[in-house]
Homo-oligomer: A and B are copies of this chain.
Amino acid sequence: MGRWEPNARGRLAQAALELYGELGYEQTTVAEIAKRAGLTERTFFRHYADKREVLFDGSSALQELFVTAVAEAPRSVAPIGAIAAGLEAVSTVFEGRREHARQRQAVIVANAELQERELIKLASMSTALADALRRRGVTGPAASLTAEAGVAVFKVGFELWLTAPEEREMSQLMRESLDELKAVTTRG
Protein backbone atom coordinates (compact mmCIF):
# COMPACT_ATOMS: atom_id res chain seq x y z
CA MET A 1 0.00 0.00 0.00
CA GLY A 2 1.05 3.57 -0.65
CA ARG A 3 2.26 6.29 1.60
CA TRP A 4 -1.08 8.03 1.41
CA GLU A 5 -4.69 6.95 1.39
CA PRO A 6 -5.75 6.45 -2.21
CA ASN A 7 -8.09 8.70 -4.22
CA ALA A 8 -7.28 12.00 -2.56
CA ARG A 9 -9.06 13.80 -5.38
CA GLY A 10 -12.29 11.87 -4.87
CA ARG A 11 -12.17 12.40 -1.13
CA LEU A 12 -11.84 16.14 -1.65
CA ALA A 13 -14.83 16.19 -4.02
CA GLN A 14 -16.93 14.15 -1.62
CA ALA A 15 -16.00 16.29 1.39
CA ALA A 16 -16.72 19.47 -0.55
CA LEU A 17 -20.17 18.32 -1.69
CA GLU A 18 -21.03 17.34 1.87
CA LEU A 19 -19.84 20.56 3.44
CA TYR A 20 -21.38 22.79 0.79
CA GLY A 21 -24.65 21.01 1.53
CA GLU A 22 -24.31 21.14 5.31
CA LEU A 23 -22.95 24.66 5.82
CA GLY A 24 -23.48 26.32 2.46
CA TYR A 25 -20.81 27.15 -0.11
CA GLU A 26 -19.76 30.52 1.28
CA GLN A 27 -19.61 29.37 4.88
CA THR A 28 -17.32 26.48 3.98
CA THR A 29 -13.58 27.17 3.93
CA VAL A 30 -11.16 25.24 1.77
CA ALA A 31 -9.22 24.39 4.93
CA GLU A 32 -12.31 22.59 6.28
CA ILE A 33 -12.74 20.59 3.08
CA ALA A 34 -9.10 19.54 3.15
CA LYS A 35 -9.29 18.61 6.81
CA ARG A 36 -12.34 16.39 6.27
CA ALA A 37 -10.49 14.70 3.42
CA GLY A 38 -7.42 14.23 5.64
CA LEU A 39 -5.30 16.63 3.58
CA THR A 40 -4.08 20.21 3.69
CA GLU A 41 -5.42 23.29 1.99
CA ARG A 42 -2.42 23.44 -0.32
CA THR A 43 -3.15 19.96 -1.61
CA PHE A 44 -6.73 20.91 -2.40
CA PHE A 45 -5.43 23.55 -4.80
CA ARG A 46 -3.13 21.03 -6.43
CA HIS A 47 -6.17 18.98 -7.42
CA TYR A 48 -8.67 21.73 -8.17
CA ALA A 49 -7.99 25.16 -9.62
CA ASP A 50 -10.36 26.85 -7.18
CA LYS A 51 -13.08 26.33 -4.61
CA ARG A 52 -15.79 26.07 -7.28
CA GLU A 53 -14.12 23.66 -9.66
CA VAL A 54 -14.37 20.77 -7.22
CA LEU A 55 -18.07 20.47 -8.08
CA PHE A 56 -17.45 20.21 -11.83
CA ASP A 57 -15.06 17.31 -12.12
CA GLY A 58 -17.12 15.40 -14.67
CA SER A 59 -18.02 18.27 -16.95
CA SER A 60 -15.16 17.77 -19.37
CA ALA A 61 -16.06 14.11 -19.91
CA LEU A 62 -19.70 15.06 -20.43
CA GLN A 63 -18.72 17.59 -23.06
CA GLU A 64 -16.56 15.08 -24.89
CA LEU A 65 -19.39 12.58 -24.91
CA PHE A 66 -21.82 15.13 -26.31
CA VAL A 67 -19.38 16.34 -28.96
CA THR A 68 -18.37 12.84 -30.03
CA ALA A 69 -21.98 11.80 -30.50
CA VAL A 70 -22.61 14.87 -32.64
CA ALA A 71 -19.51 14.23 -34.70
CA GLU A 72 -20.36 10.58 -35.26
CA ALA A 73 -23.97 11.05 -36.29
CA PRO A 74 -24.56 9.87 -39.88
CA ARG A 75 -23.73 12.38 -42.57
CA SER A 76 -27.32 12.28 -43.78
CA VAL A 77 -28.58 13.65 -40.47
CA ALA A 78 -29.36 17.37 -40.34
CA PRO A 79 -27.47 19.54 -37.80
CA ILE A 80 -30.35 19.63 -35.35
CA GLY A 81 -30.62 15.86 -35.71
CA ALA A 82 -26.96 15.46 -34.78
CA ILE A 83 -27.63 17.55 -31.67
CA ALA A 84 -30.54 15.25 -30.89
CA ALA A 85 -28.17 12.28 -31.09
CA GLY A 86 -25.82 14.06 -28.70
CA LEU A 87 -28.64 14.68 -26.22
CA GLU A 88 -29.48 10.98 -26.43
CA ALA A 89 -25.90 9.98 -25.65
CA VAL A 90 -25.65 12.39 -22.77
CA SER A 91 -28.86 11.10 -21.24
CA THR A 92 -27.45 7.60 -20.79
CA VAL A 93 -24.66 8.66 -18.44
CA PHE A 94 -27.09 10.15 -15.93
CA GLU A 95 -29.03 6.92 -15.49
CA GLY A 96 -29.23 5.95 -11.85
CA ARG A 97 -27.60 9.19 -10.75
CA ARG A 98 -30.67 11.35 -10.29
CA GLU A 99 -30.35 11.61 -6.53
CA HIS A 100 -26.71 12.62 -6.75
CA ALA A 101 -27.56 15.14 -9.45
CA ARG A 102 -30.32 16.61 -7.29
CA GLN A 103 -27.99 17.02 -4.33
CA ARG A 104 -25.35 18.70 -6.45
CA GLN A 105 -27.85 20.95 -8.19
CA ALA A 106 -29.33 22.07 -4.87
CA VAL A 107 -25.89 23.29 -3.85
CA ILE A 108 -25.37 25.09 -7.13
CA VAL A 109 -28.71 26.90 -7.27
CA ALA A 110 -28.07 28.20 -3.75
CA ASN A 111 -25.00 30.18 -4.79
CA ALA A 112 -24.40 32.66 -7.60
CA GLU A 113 -20.68 31.94 -7.98
CA LEU A 114 -21.43 28.28 -8.56
CA GLN A 115 -24.11 29.15 -11.09
CA GLU A 116 -21.57 31.26 -12.93
CA ARG A 117 -19.20 28.33 -13.10
CA GLU A 118 -21.95 26.05 -14.37
CA LEU A 119 -22.87 28.57 -17.04
CA ILE A 120 -19.33 28.81 -18.36
CA LYS A 121 -19.15 25.03 -18.55
CA LEU A 122 -22.30 25.07 -20.66
CA ALA A 123 -20.88 27.88 -22.78
CA SER A 124 -17.75 25.81 -23.34
CA MET A 125 -20.00 22.95 -24.39
CA SER A 126 -21.80 25.23 -26.82
CA THR A 127 -18.54 26.34 -28.39
CA ALA A 128 -17.32 22.76 -28.74
CA LEU A 129 -20.62 21.70 -30.27
CA ALA A 130 -20.49 24.54 -32.77
CA ASP A 131 -17.00 23.45 -33.79
CA ALA A 132 -18.20 19.87 -34.23
CA LEU A 133 -21.07 21.08 -36.40
CA ARG A 134 -18.68 23.11 -38.54
CA ARG A 135 -16.64 19.97 -39.05
CA ARG A 136 -19.87 18.47 -40.35
CA GLY A 137 -20.07 21.27 -42.90
CA VAL A 138 -22.42 23.67 -41.14
CA THR A 139 -21.44 27.22 -42.07
CA GLY A 140 -21.74 30.68 -40.55
CA PRO A 141 -23.95 31.60 -37.60
CA ALA A 142 -26.01 28.45 -38.13
CA ALA A 143 -23.39 26.40 -36.30
CA SER A 144 -23.41 28.65 -33.23
CA LEU A 145 -27.18 28.96 -33.22
CA THR A 146 -27.74 25.22 -33.51
CA ALA A 147 -25.25 24.60 -30.72
CA GLU A 148 -26.85 27.23 -28.49
CA ALA A 149 -30.24 25.69 -29.19
CA GLY A 150 -28.87 22.29 -28.23
CA VAL A 151 -27.54 23.57 -24.92
CA ALA A 152 -30.82 25.36 -24.23
CA VAL A 153 -32.67 22.08 -24.73
CA PHE A 154 -30.17 20.33 -22.47
CA LYS A 155 -30.65 22.91 -19.72
CA VAL A 156 -34.45 22.77 -19.85
CA GLY A 157 -34.55 19.00 -20.24
CA PHE A 158 -32.14 18.51 -17.37
CA GLU A 159 -34.19 20.63 -15.03
CA LEU A 160 -37.36 18.82 -16.06
CA TRP A 161 -35.61 15.54 -15.32
CA LEU A 162 -34.57 16.66 -11.84
CA THR A 163 -38.13 17.57 -10.88
CA ALA A 164 -39.94 14.84 -12.82
CA PRO A 165 -41.26 11.62 -11.28
CA GLU A 166 -38.68 8.86 -11.04
CA GLU A 167 -40.02 6.80 -13.90
CA ARG A 168 -39.59 9.52 -16.50
CA GLU A 169 -36.42 8.98 -18.50
CA MET A 170 -34.05 11.80 -19.33
CA SER A 171 -33.79 10.86 -22.99
CA GLN A 172 -37.53 11.16 -23.42
CA LEU A 173 -37.60 14.55 -21.67
CA MET A 174 -34.81 15.74 -23.94
CA ARG A 175 -36.80 14.68 -27.02
CA GLU A 176 -39.90 16.43 -25.72
CA SER A 177 -37.93 19.61 -25.01
CA LEU A 178 -36.39 19.60 -28.45
CA ASP A 179 -39.81 19.13 -30.04
CA GLU A 180 -41.11 22.01 -27.95
CA LEU A 181 -38.29 24.26 -29.14
CA LYS A 182 -39.06 23.35 -32.74
CA ALA A 183 -42.70 24.18 -32.20
CA VAL A 184 -41.95 27.47 -30.51
CA THR A 185 -39.59 28.73 -33.21
CA THR A 186 -42.00 27.74 -35.94
CA ARG A 187 -45.11 29.55 -34.74
CA GLY A 188 -44.96 33.24 -35.47
- List A residues at the B interface (Cβ < 8 Å): 77-81, 84, 112, 115-117, 119-120, 123, 140-142, 144-146, 148-149, 152-153, 155-156, 160, 176-177, 180-188
Known contacts A80-B184, A148-B155, A182-B186; is A119 also within 8 Å of B123 by CB? yes
Q: Tell me if B80 and A142 are in contact (CB < 8 A).
A: no
Point out the residues of chain B lying under 8 angstroms from A115, CB to CB: 120, 123
In the bound assembly, the distance between CA atoms of A176 and B181 in angstroms comes to 18
In the bound assembly, the distance between CA atoms of A177 and B145 in angstroms comes to 8
In the bound assembly, the distance between CA atoms of A112 and B81 in angstroms comes to 31
Q: Which residue of B lies closest to A117 (CB)?
A: B116
Point out the residues of chain B lying under 8 angstroms from A187, CB to CB: 78-80
At the interface, is chain A mostly helix, strand, loop or mixed? helix
Q: Tell me if A148 and B141 are in contact (CB < 8 A).
A: no
Nearest chain B CB to A60 CB, angstrom units: 15
Q: Which residue of B lies closest to A80 (CB)?
A: B188
Q: Tell me if A112 and B119 are in contact (CB < 8 A).
A: no
In the bound assembly, the distance between CA atoms of A153 and B185 in angstroms comes to 12
Point out the residues of chain B lying under 8 angstroms from A184, CB to CB: 79-80, 142, 145-146, 149
Q: Which residue of B lies closest to A120 (CB)?
A: B116
Q: Could you jot down 30 A-B contacts, CB within 8 Å?
A: A79-B188, A80-B184, A80-B187, A84-B188, A112-B120, A116-B116, A116-B117, A116-B119, A119-B119, A119-B120, A119-B123, A141-B156, A141-B176, A141-B177, A141-B180, A142-B180, A142-B184, A144-B156, A145-B152, A145-B177, A145-B180, A145-B181, A146-B185, A148-B155, A149-B152, A149-B184, A149-B185, A182-B185, A182-B186, A185-B185
Q: For A78, A79, A177, A181, which residue has the most chain B Cβ atoms within 10 angstroms?
A: A181
Nearest chain B CB to A48 CB, angstrom units: 15
